[in-house]
Amino acid sequence: MYEKCSHALASHAAAVFTTMTRRAPSKVEVRPESSEDPRLLFTVGERVDFRGEAAGGSRVNGFFICAFEAMDAAVLFAGDIASYLGLPASSSKAETDNYVGEFLNVVIGLTCSAWADHGLRVDFSPPEKLQEHTVDLEPEGQCYRVVIEAEGLYTATVFLDFLPEPAEA
């Protein structure tokens, strides 16, 4: 189920990416995250946590992080989204964060519906801005990396970690 959900995320992220940046992705890749290197390092990112119920009644929580390794890549991505929205290009870190967050909000809205079709119903937290951050992935989680590249100009990476919750006593 989690692999299907990660592919649903990739599909929606690629579609939103194409619409909001007006660039067809030159690469879309989904891969399980290696447990050998359980740290995510990035310069700019937005995190959204989720909690819900999987098919069969098991509880699950986790998070999405839409991240960029370099600030200049995030600024170019944000500029493309600003152009799509008819707004001035991003000129500050805060505006860049807002555009990255807007992208992630749209992706999550579409993904939530697709996940329900796969038997996973979740609620999301508001986005949280992350800067020059490291996130340690949980070894018992199901972690995926969705990479969307725009013609060699920039790469948006969405990290997805599903963390099964222990059963209540």
Where in the chain are the domains? Answer: 2-164
- Note the pLDDT of residue 123: 92
Q: Give the span between the Cα atoms of 4 and 29, in whole angstroms.
A: 14
For the entire predicted model, the pTM comes to: 0.85
Q: Give the span between the Cα atoms of 77 and 10, in whole angstroms.
A: 17
Collect the ranges in the chain with pLDDT lower than 50.
169
- Note the pLDDT of residue 169: 44
- Note the pLDDT of residue 98: 84
Q: Give the span between the Cα atoms of 55 and 31, in whole angstroms.
A: 23
Using an 8 Å Cβ cutoff, are 162 and 39 in contact?
Answer: no
The CATH number of domain 2-164 is 3.40.1550.10: yes
Using an 8 Å Cβ cutoff, are 27 and 149 in contact?
Answer: yes
- Note the pLDDT of residue 136: 67
- Note the pLDDT of residue 39: 66
